[in-house]
Amino acid sequence: MAKKPLRIGLVGYGFMGRTHSNGYRKVSNFFDLEYSPVLKAVCARDEAKVKAFAEQWGYESTETDWRKLIVRDDIDAIDICTPNNLHKEIALAAAAAGKMILCEKPLSMNTAEGEEMVAAVEKAGVPNTVWYNYRRVPAVTLAKQLIDSGKLGKIFHYRANFLQDWTISADLPQGGAALWRLDAAAAGSGVTGDLLAHCIDTAIWLNGSIKNVSAMTETFIKERKHNLTGKVEKVSIDDACAFMCRFDNGSLGLFESTRYARGHKALYTLEVNGEKASLKWDLHDLHRLQYFDHGDEGIVRGWRSIHVTDGDQPYMDHWWVPGLQIGYEHTFIHQVADFLQALQDGKPCPPTFRDALETQKICDAVLTSAKSGTWQNVE
């Protein structure tokens, strides 16, 4: 069957620009879908660098002004991989130009911006999605299937951590290029929007909405040299954040994230405890799901480590043979595949902008609670 091209215009070529481009390039080798991505154009301000990126990844053309990219007739979908402070402006313009939008997480700097973005894509009626890629780790998708099937029974606890250690040095500057995540003006927040947003997206997908939160944050290094101004400036992001919450289903949640956990590079872990069973997952061992079923016969009851590589487990029928695992890059390939499948079926591809707005509201409630020292209801 001849494939329908989905012509991609990528804005930004950092770490996420590479993960997404890799997804577009590989998806049609492994998923037989009606649409196939075409790497039409990549856009960034530095002409020499964007040309080099285009050559390396196989983009047909380049732009240095995203406004020009958005109005091009030969582009169907805009992929936003810029720092967070540009998401809204680009999304609003792309929606007005009738383009589909794939936006890197978090959706926006805050809830107010997110609401505008949701209104824009819904008014324009353009397909949209936000790259919360960890939903597409087969073991995490399997966790969703187990919870939805009722195997865990009533859920009592949800626990998640996202721990890193890359900002401990006081000599690390803030701002610009790869360091924009340390600059509140570009990122909106620190670990809350960057890391906890992942944990929250997975949590509300697996365990439903969050009602209220009580949080604390800390900024351990108060001033850093700013790479764009060359001056030492106040650091306004949260370096660490921990919060507890109540879910609508009555369960209790505990979340922690930091960039100051020496030794941890990207330790995203989650655990769900239910009446009948529990499960846990660890990004450093991402193809495994740990599962404990109280219904097992007593003498063999215990935690089992499910190696999620079998063809009847989520996504795995598209990969190698049972026992051979996949990794981080595949979560992005899966997201592209799901987006193309949704397009083919005329359905939304979750998390949509509207779904991701819920995560944004929880992040805002967390930051407000940390400032006020009080419980906050999620809007």
76 lies in the binding site for ligand SOE (CB under 6 A)? no
Min dist CB 284 to ligand SOE, Å, is 12
Query: Closest CB to ligand SOE among 24 and 134?
Result: 134
Of 71, 232, 266, 324, the one binding ligand SOE (CB under 6 A) is 266
Q: Give least dist CB 14 to ligand SOE, A.
A: 9
Binding mask 150-179 for ligand SOE (x = CB under 6 A): --------------x---------------
Tokens 């069957």 appear where? 1
Decide whether 187 or 365 has the Cβ nearer to ligand SOE.
187
3-state secondary structure of 87: helix
When the beta carbons of 89 and 165 are compared against ligand SOE, the nearer one is: 165
Cα 361 to Cα 358: distance, rounded to the nearest angstrom: 5
Q: Which amino acid is at 122?
A: E
Residue 15 C-beta: closest distance to ligand SOE, Å: 6
* Nearer Cβ to ligand SOE (162/247): 162
Task: Name the nearest CA neighbour of 147 among 279, 55, 59.
Answer: 279
Nearest CA-CA partner of 125 in 146, 147, 149, 101: 101
Angle between helices 111-124 and 353-372 (to 10 degrees): 170
Residue nearest to ligand SOE (CB): 194
Least CB distance from residue 282 to ligand SOE, whole Å? 14
**Residue type present at position 337:** A
Determine the Cα–Cα distance for residues 135 and 138; give it in Å rounded to an integer: 8
Binding to ligand SOE, residues 195-254 (CB under 6 A): 198
Q: In the complex, what is the shortest distance from the CB of residue 171 to ligand SOE, in angstroms, rounded to a whole number?
A: 18
Q: How far is the CB of 194 from ligand SOE (least distance, A)?
A: 5
**What's the first-to-final CA gap in the chain, in angstroms?**
47
Sort 134 into a burial class: Cβ within 10 Å, 0-12 / 13-18 / 19+: buried
Directed axis angle between helix 138-148 and helix 197-207, to 10°? Answer: 30
Residues 4-23 that bind ligand SOE (CB under 6 A): 15
**Of 164 and 376, which CB lies nearer to ligand SOE in the complex structure?**
164
Number of shown-chain residues binding ligand SOE (CB under 6 A): 5
Beta carbon nearer to ligand SOE, 283 or 343: 283
Reply yes or no: is the peptide bond before residue 5 cis, omega within 30 of 0. no
Is residue 115 within 8 Å of residue 92, measured between CB atoms?
Answer: no
Q: How far is the CB of 98 from ligand SOE (least distance, A)?
A: 29
Neighbours of 48 (CB within 10 A): 7
Does position 194 bind ligand SOE by CB under 6 A?
yes
- Say how far apart CA 187 and CA 84 lie, in whole Å: 5
Q: Which is nearer to ligand SOE, 164 or 202 (CB)?
A: 164
The interaxial angle of helices 87-96 and 111-124, nearest 10 deg, is: 10
Per-residue binder mask for ligand SOE (CB under 6 A), 21-60, x = binder: ----------------------------------------
Distance of closest approach, residue 302 Cβ to ligand SOE, in angstroms: 31
Question: Smaller CB distance to ligand SOE: residue 257 or 309?
Answer: 257
Contact flag: residue 324 with ligand SOE (CB under 6 A): no
**What one-character-per-residue DSSP string does 20-69 give?**
HHHHHHHHHHH---SEEEEEEEEE-S-HHHHHHHHHHHT-SEEES-HHHH
Q: How far is the CB of 347 from ligand SOE (least distance, A)?
A: 25
| Residue number, 99 or 136, with CB nearest to ligand SOE | 136
Chain positions contacting ligand SOE, by CB under 6 A: 15, 164, 194, 198, 266
